[in-house]
Amino acid sequence: MKKSLLSITLSSLLATSAFVATQASATDIEGLSANVGVVSEYIFRGIQQTDSATASAGVDYENSGFYIGTWAADVSDGLEVDVYAGYANELDSGLGYNIGYTTYQYTGEFDSAYNEFNLGLSYSILSVAYNVGTRDDDVNLSIPEEDYNFFTAAVEYEGFSLTYGNWGNEIDGDYFELAYNTEVSGFDVGVTITATSTDLNTDRLGTPSNDEALVFSIGKSF
């Protein structure tokens, strides 16, 4: 079943890529970009969201450092829909920074909403980010309100990246992620190995899930 779903979503990705490429060349709106993709398993910040292939798509607009965008993914029981906005820039010294806000909304009964403020710094191959947010309560899903913070430190070089992530406050746990991403025939392809603390996935899913995961991805940006 998992293999069949992956084949279907890959076919949809290729068809959508051709369509969007045609539309993008026709409109050619400066600052507007789009993306589509498929992952063999959806893992976000070390937490397993799905254990099967997931398709996604997003649209972004940027102007003079200000940005706004949305991104959606299939999470089995409905959709995850993210909306974000902020400001990002780089100083003459090469120091980059980002200030933003993100809301994560869900259809179906997958999860309750998350809302967070985002801060980030980068220099050369190094980057750090700090996020502060709240997971809304949901009586129907028996989910209480939770405050959390999330920190990441990453190093990237020649397509390789190593990331350490740590959840704090009322959501607890950490993970390491090693990834390689490159371009093949105009498509972005990647492979990621994630090692997650058991308590982190237990917090999200209610029962322990795999502590290690190997994820393959393919996508297209326009």
CATH architecture of the domain with residue range 2-221: Beta Barrel (2.40)
* pLDDT higher than threshold 50 for residue 75: yes
Output 203 or 169, whichever has higher pLDDT.
169
pLDDT at residue 210 in the model: 58
* pLDDT higher than threshold 80 for residue 18: no
Instruction: Let me know: does 40 contact 216? Beta carbons within 8 Å.
Output: yes
Radius of gyration of the chain (CA): 18
Q: What are the counts of helices (DSSP H) followed by strands (DSSP E) for the chain?
A: 2, 14
Residues 126-150: pLDDT tens digits?
A: 999 999 999 998 877 788 899 999 9
Residues 36-63: pLDDT tens digits?
A: 999 999 999 998 888 889 999 999 999 9
| 3 state DSSP class of 210 | coil
End-to-end CA distance of the chain: 30
Over residues 16-29, the mean pLDDT reads 51
Most confident of 13-22, 124-133, 201-210: 124-133
* pLDDT higher than threshold 60 for residue 203: no
* Percent of the chain surpassing pLDDT 90: 64
Residues 81-90: pLDDT tens digits?
A: 999 999 999 9
The distance of Cα 192 from the centroid of its chain, to the nearest Å, equals 13
Q: Residue 46: left if φ>0, alpha if ψ -120 to 50, beta else—which one?
A: left
pLDDT at residue 202 in the model: 61
